[in-house]
């Protein structure tokens, strides 16, 4: 419904002004002539003006002339009307064809717009999935980084444990070497003692030979016992050393495995970063394509609107030309008929 800001009479005066300048009325030109008003209100008043003019186009000329002239004027009017109707029908067909063509172009534009909207929806869905994948990969990267930090911490603890084990191994080796040295020194001291005692016993009396042999046997037994104890302790130390070496090798193997896992985690982090960069580039490319599609759609919409305006201007220019032709025919009929009081004056002259 039209608003009360611009009245029908204002629009009619603006249309009369435009037609007096030889311009076809349009919503844009009427608004420029008025200097105010909404396009909706002016468009409704323009449709009302066209409707009224269409209703009054078949009104015959007034009957104020003689019957013969009236018949001639009606004949001329009918002929002019038929000619105008034929021309109008031609222009109407041409206008209908152009309107149909414009409608097809508008439908094509609408279809392309729908296709663009569908592509935009698909691109938006793809972009949403891409962002979800990016978020998932970012979370995975964060998890891998946390795992990497945990592995690094564990590796540091293992390095500390290995350092302690190596220090303990060195201590055990030093202890074993010291014990071996002490055992060898004890054997040497014991052997020296035995030799000294043997020399003393030899220097004594031959009668003490039995006792000396007993002492030698006792010394041998003591030495054998000491050697067995030393061998037993040495075996225990060897076994302990082997155990420590096995633990050391196991720790080295575990460290190698942790280093391999850390390298794999670092490689996975680099792959995730590369995937994230690739997804960022794809999202940028999709956003650019979406903006290009929107710009192309806006451009097509502007061309369709411009075509509709040109079609409307040409249609009304053609109709105004027909109206002007009808007006000239009416003026010609009136000029040929002369003024309404010419007939009676000539009759009075003939009677005189």
pLDDT for 341 equals: 44
**Which is more confident, 151 or 44?**
44
Instruction: Specify if 350 maps to a domain.
Output: no
pLDDT band at 44 (very low <50, low <70, confident <90, very high): very high
**Which is more confident, 334 or 343?**
334
Cα dihedral 224, 228, 230, 236 in deg (nearest 10): 180
Q: Could you tell me the pTM of the whole model?
A: 0.26
Burial class (CB in 10 A: 0-12, 13-18, 19+), 6: buried
Q: What is the pLDDT of residues 217-226, one digit of tens each?
A: 886 888 788 7
Instruction: Specify if 315 maps to a domain.
Output: no
49 and 186 within one domain: no
**Token duo for residue 278:** 């690739």
158 and 36 within one domain: no
**Token duo for residue 329:** 């025919």
Distance CA 38, CA 43 (A): 9
Q: What is the pLDDT of residues 279-321, one digit of tens each?
A: 788 888 877 887 887 787 778 778 867 877 787 777 677 777 7
Q: What are phi and psi of 339, to 5 degrees?
A: -70, 160
- Out of 122-136, 208-222, 292-306, pick the least confident: 208-222
Distance CA 130, CA 348 (A): 103
The boundaries of the domain holding residue 49 are 1-55
Distance CA 134, CA 272 (A): 9
279 and 168 within one domain: yes
**Over 70: is that where the pLDDT of 43 sits?**
yes
The domain boundary residue, chosen from 244, 259, 294: 294
Give 30's contacts (C-beta < 8 A, 6+ positions apart): 11, 14, 15, 18, 37, 42, 46
161 and 46 within one domain: no
Which letter, b or e, does each residue of 150-186 get, where b requires 16 or more Cβ atoms within 10 Å of its Cβ? Answer: ebeeebeeeeeebeeeeeebeeeeeebeeeeeebeee
268 and 167 within one domain: yes
Instruction: Specify if 77 maps to a domain.
Output: no
pLDDT for 201 equals: 67
175 and 45 within one domain: no
47 and 147 within one domain: no
Region 189-200: what's the mean pLDDT?
80
pLDDT for 192 equals: 86
Q: What is the pLDDT of residues 7-39, one digit of tens each?
A: 999 999 999 999 888 888 999 999 999 998 899
Q: How many domains does one find in the chain?
A: 2
158 and 49 within one domain: no
pLDDT band at 1 (very low <50, low <70, confident <90, very high): very low
160 and 17 within one domain: no
280 and 180 within one domain: yes
270 and 152 within one domain: yes
pLDDT for 219 equals: 67
Instruction: Specify if 324 maps to a domain.
Output: no
Q: How many residues does the chain have?
A: 352
Instruction: Specify if 198 maps to a domain.
Output: yes
The domain boundary residue, chosen from 14, 31, 55: 55
pLDDT for 31 equals: 93
Instruction: Specify if 209 maps to a domain.
Output: yes
Q: What is the pLDDT of residues 245-265, one digit of tens each?
A: 888 788 788 878 878 888 887
Instruction: Specify if 131 maps to a domain.
Output: no
Compute and round to an integer the Cα radius of gyration of the chain: 60
**Token duo for residue 224:** 């054998």
290 and 149 within one domain: yes
pLDDT for 191 equals: 83
- Report, in this order, helix, strand and coil percent for the chain, each rounded to 5: 90, 0, 10
The domain boundary residue, chosen from 55, 77, 98: 55
pLDDT for 28 equals: 93
pLDDT for 7 equals: 93
Instruction: Specify if 257 maps to a domain.
Output: yes
């Amino acid at each position: 419904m039209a608003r009360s800001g611009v009245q029908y009479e204002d629009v009619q005066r603006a249309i009369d002004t435009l037609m007096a300048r030889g311009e076809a009325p349009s919503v844009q030109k009427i608004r420029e002539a008025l200097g105010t008003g909404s396009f909706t209100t002016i468009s409704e008043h323009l449709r009302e003006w066209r409707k009224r003019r269409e209703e009054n186009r078949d009104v015959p000329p007034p009957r104020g002339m003689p019957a013969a002239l009236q018949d001639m004027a009606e004949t001329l009017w009918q002929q002019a009307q038929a000619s105008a109707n034929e021309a109008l029908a031609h222009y109407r067909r041409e206008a209908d064809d152009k309107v149909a063509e414009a409608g097809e172009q508008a439908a094509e534009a609408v279809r392309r717009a729908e296709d663009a909207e569908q592509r935009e929806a698909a691109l938006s869905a793809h972009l949403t999935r891409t962002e979800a994948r990016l978020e998932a990969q970012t979370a995975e990267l964060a998890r891998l980084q946390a795992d990497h930090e945990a592995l690094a911490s564990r590796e540091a603890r293992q390095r500390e444990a290995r350092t302690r084990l190596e220090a303990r191994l060195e201590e055990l080796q030093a202890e074993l070497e010291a014990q071996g040295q002490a055992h060898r020194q004890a054997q040497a001291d014991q052997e020296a003692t035995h030799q000294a005692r043997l020399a003393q016993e030899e220097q004594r009396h031959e009668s003490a030979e039995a006792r000396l042999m007993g002492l030698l046997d006792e010394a041998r037994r003591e030495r054998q016992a000491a050697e067995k104890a030393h061998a037993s302790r040495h075996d225990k130390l060897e076994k302990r050393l082997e155990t420590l070496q096995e633990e050391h090798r196991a720790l080295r193997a575990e460290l190698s495995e942790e280093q391999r896992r850390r390298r794999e985690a670092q490689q996975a982090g680099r792959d995730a970063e590369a995937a994230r960069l690739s997804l960022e580039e794809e999202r940028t490319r999709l956003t650019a394509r979406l903006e290009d599609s929107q710009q192309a759609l806006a451009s097509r919409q502007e061309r369709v609107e411009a075509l509709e305006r040109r079609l409307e201007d040409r249609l009304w220019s053609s109709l105004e030309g027909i109206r002007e032709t009808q007006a000239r025919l009416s003026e010609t009929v009136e000029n040929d008929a002369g003024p309404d009081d010419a007939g009676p004056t000539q009759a009075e002259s003939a009677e005189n």
